[in-house]
Amino acid sequence: MNESISNDVERFDAIVIGAGVAGLYFHYRLRKLGLSVRGFEAGSGVGGTWYWNRYPGARFDSESYSYGYSFSQEILDEWQWSEHFSGQPENERYLNFVADKFDLRRDIHFNARVASAVFDSVNRIWRVETESGERASARFLIQATGVLSAPYIPTIEGADHYRGETWHTSTWPRRAVDLSDKRVGVIGTGATAVQMITEISKNIGDLTVFQRTPNYCKPLFNSKITPEEQINIKASYPEMFARCNSTFGGFLHDFDERKVFDVSAEERTAFYEKTWNEKGFAFWLGCFSDILTDVAANETVAEFVRKKIRERVNDPEVAELLAPKCHPFGTKRQPMESGYYEAYNRENVHLIDLHKTPIERFTEKGLQTTDKEYEFDIVIYATGFDAVTGALTRIDIRGENGAVLKDRWHESPSAYLGMCTVGFPNMFITGGPHNSSSFCNIPRCLEQNVEWITDCIAYMQAHGHTRIEANQDAEDAWTDFVLKSADETLLTKVDNWFMGSNIPGKKRVFLNYVGGVPLFRERCDESAANGYAGFTLA
C-alpha cells in the first residue's frame, strides 16, 4: 500500500480483527482506555466460533457458567444459562447480548474479511485492507481471529464434478436444512462430527460416516439448569472463576494428584466409573495425574473407554471400528457425546473404515472408495481446521522490513507468551501459537490475554511508548520451554491439530501450550511487573 493511497485512510489507535469472544472484549477494554478502534469481522454478526459453527448439535464442552465472561458483574447478574452445556443458538445469543449491552457493534465493520496488514516502520502504524478494498490504519493491530476458525477442506479428486451439495461444518447453511429424505455422507469423526452425527442421525434419510481415526468419546451428561441450581451458580461465580484460574486447563475440573498405579485395580476402576458419570471433562481433565505422560497408565483408562463403547454399539464389528487403538486416550481434545454411539445402532447409519477402503475421488453422484461408489445428496466435511496459525497465515501480514508472517512461521511458529512475535511490532495475538488459550477453557484464557494486552497498551500510553516488539532471546526461551514441556507428554506423539499435522504440508510442530494456565498467568504477570520484560519498548 503506498503512502498516497494511505493518506486518505482512516486512522485509529487500534484495529481489532475478529468479533468473537476475544474481539468483543477488546472493544470493551480499548474503549475504556479512551482509544479509537476499528473492528473488522468476516461474518455478518458477532460471535466468532458461535456465529460460524451452527451445525446441529453444536454446543459447549465447558460448563456454560465457566465459559461466559467473568469481567462484568452486570453480565453475570443479568444472563441466565439454560443448560449446563449450552447449545450454539443460545451461545450466539449470549455474545449478542454482551455486544448490545455495551454497544460494541458500533465500531465493527461486518462482512469485512481482512486480506492484508502491513507495518509501516517509519510511522509505526499498521495499514490494513479488507478483501473488498476497505482500508484503515492504526498504531496497534490486534489479532482476535480465533484458535479454530480457518476451516480445512481436504483436496479430493473430482470435487468439481460432484453434482450434490457440499459444505464444511463451520459453514453450515443459515437457512433451514431438512435432511429427513436426504442421503448424506460425512467425512471426519472428530469432536465436531461426534456432536453433529448424533443430532442429524435422529431424522435423516440415510447417513454414511467416513472414519479415519475413531475417538474416545465420553457422555456429556447435559441437562437443563434448575431454578435451585441457577441460584447456586449465581452465588458461586467468584469461587468458580477463581477455581478456573487455578486449574491446569482453566476448566472446573483438575487432575487428581495420584498416579494410576498408586491405587489398586479395583480402586482405579471405581474412580474411572465415578468420573465417567460426572459432567463434562471430569473424566479427562479430572483423571490421574500421569495419564498424559505414561503410556501404561494411559492404557488403563483407554481400555476402560473401549469397554464402554463396546457395551453401547450393537454390531461388534462396528463397535471395534469405533474403539480407538492407535492413539493414547486424551491426546486429542476429548469429544463429548450425547448418544453418539447409539447413532450407529440405527439401520440407516453406516460406518466406513477409511483405512480399509480409502476415498479415491468424488464422482458426479457421490464418493468412490476403493470398495464402491456411494451416492449422496449432500457431503459434509467435518474435517476440522487449520488451527492456531491458519487464521493468521491466511492474511497477508507483513512486519518489519517486509517480513511475511506466513513465511516466518513456516518452519516454526513462535510467539513470546503466545502474544507477540519478533519482527511484527505493535501486533498482539490471541489464540495464536504457544498461547495458553489453545489448550484451555478458551474464554478463561482469552479474557486473560485481552486484559494483559490492553494493560500493556495502557502502560505504553502512560510512558509515551509508540512501539513494542518481542525480543528474540525471550521468544526463543519461551518456544523452548513450551516445546520441552509438550515433549514430556504424550500429546506430541500423535497427529492432530495440536501438532499442525492434520494439514498436508504444514510443519509438524507443537502449536499449543501445556504448561498449565496458572503458570502462564504467572509468566505474563511477571513480565508486566518488570516493565514488560522480554519486550523492547520504544
The end-to-end CA distance of the chain, in Å, is: 25
Burial of 433 (0-12, 13-18, 19+ CB in 10 A): buried
The single residue among 6, 331, 383, 448 that binds ligand NA7, judged by CB under 6 A, is 383
Distance in Å, CB of 347 to ligand NA7, minimum = 24
Give the residue carrying C-alpha cell 495419564. 291
Q: Determine the 3-state secondary structure of 537 from DSSP.
A: strand
Distance in Å, CB of 164 to ligand NA7, minimum = 18
193 near ligand NA7, judged by CB under 6 A: yes
43 near ligand NA7, judged by CB under 6 A: no
389 near ligand NA7, judged by CB under 6 A: no
The single residue among 96, 130, 143, 192 that binds ligand NA7, judged by CB under 6 A, is 192
Beta-bridge partners for 40: 17, 109
Q: What residues numbered 494-533 form the site for ligand NA7, per CB under 6 A?
A: 497, 502
Give the residue carrying C-alpha cell 452465588. 235
171 near ligand NA7, judged by CB under 6 A: no
327 near ligand NA7, judged by CB under 6 A: no
- Can you tell me the distance from the alpha carbon of 205 to that of 186, in angstroms, rounded to the nearest whole number? 13
Dihedral over Cα of 34, 141, 244, 55: its sign: positive
Nearer to ligand NA7, 141 or 187 (CB): 187
Q: Which stretch binds ligand NA7 (CB under 6 A): 105-113, 124-132, 207-215, 285-293?
A: 207-215
Site size with ligand NA7, rule: CB under 6 A: 19
User: What phi and psi values does residue 322 have, to the nearest 5 degrees?
Assistant: -85, -10
485 near ligand NA7, judged by CB under 6 A: no
57 near ligand NA7, judged by CB under 6 A: no
187 near ligand NA7, judged by CB under 6 A: yes
Dihedral over Cα of 433, 435, 436, 437: its sign: negative
> β-pairing, 135-143 with 165-168?
unpaired
Q: Which stretch binds ligand NA7 (CB under 6 A): 30-38, 89-97, 209-217, 451-459?
A: 209-217
Query: Which ranges in 102-226 belong to alpha helices (H)?
Result: 191-200
User: What phi and psi values does residue 201 have, to the nearest 5 degrees?
Assistant: -65, -15
354 near ligand NA7, judged by CB under 6 A: yes
Amino acid in the structure at residue 58: A
Q: What residues numbered 125-154 form the site for ligand NA7, per CB under 6 A?
A: 148, 154
- Can you tell me the distance from the alpha carbon of 435 to that of 412, in angstroms, rounded to the nearest whole number? 14
Give the residue carrying C-alpha cell 485509529. 12
- Can you tell me the distance from the alpha carbon of 394 to that of 482, in angstroms, rounded to the nearest whole number? 24
Nearer to ligand NA7, 213 or 368 (CB): 213
191 near ligand NA7, judged by CB under 6 A: yes
Distance in Å, CB of 16 to ligand NA7, minimum = 23
Distance in Å, CB of 327 to ligand NA7, minimum = 9
213 near ligand NA7, judged by CB under 6 A: yes
Distance in Å, CB of 354 to ligand NA7, minimum = 6
Which string of DSSP letters, residue by residue, matches 12-42? EEEEEE--SHHHHHHHHHHHHTT--EEEE-S
Nearest position to ligand NA7, beta carbon: 190
Q: At what angle do helices 237-246 and 442-462 cross, to 10 degrees?
A: 90
The single residue among 57, 384, 418, 516 that binds ligand NA7, judged by CB under 6 A, is 384
User: What phi and psi values does residue 22 have, to the nearest 5 degrees?
Assistant: -75, -45
190 near ligand NA7, judged by CB under 6 A: yes
Nearer to ligand NA7, 19 or 387 (CB): 387
Distance in Å, CB of 203 to ligand NA7, minimum = 22
Q: Which stretch binds ligand NA7 (CB under 6 A): 25-33, 199-207, 224-232, 381-389?
A: 381-389
- The C-alpha cell at 43 is 461474518
Distance in Å, CB of 46 to ligand NA7, minimum = 20
- Can you tell me the distance from the alpha carbon of 70 to that of 241, in angstroms, rounded to the nearest whole number? 7
Q: What is the DSSP letter of 107?
A: G
> β-pairing, 366-369 with 359-362?
antiparallel
Nearest partner of 42 among 16, 8, 13, 73, judged by Cα: 16
Beta-bridge partners for 254: none
Nearer to ligand NA7, 265 or 326 (CB): 326
448 near ligand NA7, judged by CB under 6 A: no
- Can you tell me the distance from the alpha carbon of 19 to that of 29, in angstroms, rounded to the nearest whole number? 13
Site string for ligand NA7, 281-320 (x = CB under 6 A): ----------------------------------------
The single residue among 54, 59, 183, 333 that binds ligand NA7, judged by CB under 6 A, is 333
Distance in Å, CB of 510 to ligand NA7, minimum = 15
Nearer to ligand NA7, 142 or 388 (CB): 388
Dihedral over Cα of 62, 66, 72, 75: its sign: positive
Nearest partner of 514 among 538, 485, 472, judged by Cα: 485
Nearer to ligand NA7, 213 or 345 (CB): 213
Nearer to ligand NA7, 26 or 52 (CB): 52
For residues 21 and 45, the answer to whether their CB atoms sit within 8 Å is: no
Site string for ligand NA7, 91-130 (x = CB under 6 A): ----------------------------------------
Q: What is the DSSP letter of 439?
A: G
Distance in Å, CB of 10 to ligand NA7, minimum = 35
- Can you tell me the distance from the alpha carbon of 535 to that of 472, in angstroms, rounded to the nearest whole number? 9
Distance in Å, CB of 265 to ligand NA7, minimum = 31
Distance in Å, CB of 504 to ligand NA7, minimum = 8
What are the residues binding ligand NA7 (CB under 6 A)? 148, 154, 187-193, 210, 212-213, 333, 354, 382-384, 497, 502
